[in-house]
Amino acid sequence: MTTSTLSRRPILLGLAAAAALVAAPALAAPAIGKPAPAFTAVDSTGKSRSLAEFKGKTVVLEWTNEGCPYVQKHYNAGAMQGLQKSAGRDGVVWLTLISSAPGKQGYKTAAEANDWKAESGAAPTAILLDPKGEVGRAYAARTTPHMYVVNPAGTLVYMGGIDDKNSADAATLNGAKNYVVAALGDVKAGRAVAQPVSAPYGCSVKY
């Protein structure tokens, strides 16, 4: 709010408004209870994956950025890997998405993504590479981590944070309420997801 920016502000506002008009459709938030936005993306093995191929299965979408301290909180303690494995045992499809643009924090080539998966012991069904941020924008993913759960009918049943502790401090993992675990439990039991939305927390997605 400095004086020097004041005079330029009508122009900036105009640009912002124009940008918002362009950006708004891309960032239109997906809705709980509505079909999850369809997407196709290449995974770290070079295979093209789409949401449609997992119809009939519960799907978890996890946005990640290896360099983000909030992501590190969940990976360094092995918490995220544990979730992925336990979901896998239940037949849940886990897709980890990287929407960082090339040159930005968290961006990975296919080979780098495979290395990271091996080093960290991550166990997703696939790591999807979304360097243009198309899938990220379709889901209005804004943080890493940002979590979504799609039920077997293809309906979005959860979106938001991974848990209720907005902190990068690993100590907060203890006693945190994990919303994804709760949502998967509800879906498995055939119940409506009790808490279908929460505020996501973490670093911004580096579009």
Residues forming contacts to other proteins in the complex (CB under 8 A) are 1, 6-11, 13, 16-17, 20, 23-24, 26-27, 29, 31-33, 67-70, 104-105, 137, 142-143, 159-160, 166-171, 194-207
* Residue with smaller CB distance to other proteins, 40 or 195: 195
Minimal distance in Å, beta carbon 133 to other proteins? 8
- Strand 59-63 and strand 93-98: the pairing is parallel
84: tokens are: 């992925």
* Residue with smaller CB distance to other proteins, 70 or 116: 70
| DSSP β-bridge partners for residue 48 | 42
* Residue with smaller CB distance to other proteins, 29 or 52: 29
Minimal distance in Å, beta carbon 88 to other proteins? 27
Minimal distance in Å, beta carbon 123 to other proteins? 23
- 64-97 exposure pattern, b = at least 16 Cβ within 10 A, e = fewer: bbbebebbbbbbeeebbbebbeebeeeebbbbbb
Q: How far is the C-alpha of 54 from the C-alpha of 92, rounded, in Å? A: 10
Contact 150, 61 (CB under 8 A): yes
* Residue with smaller CB distance to other proteins, 67 or 78: 67
Minimal distance in Å, beta carbon 46 to other proteins? 27
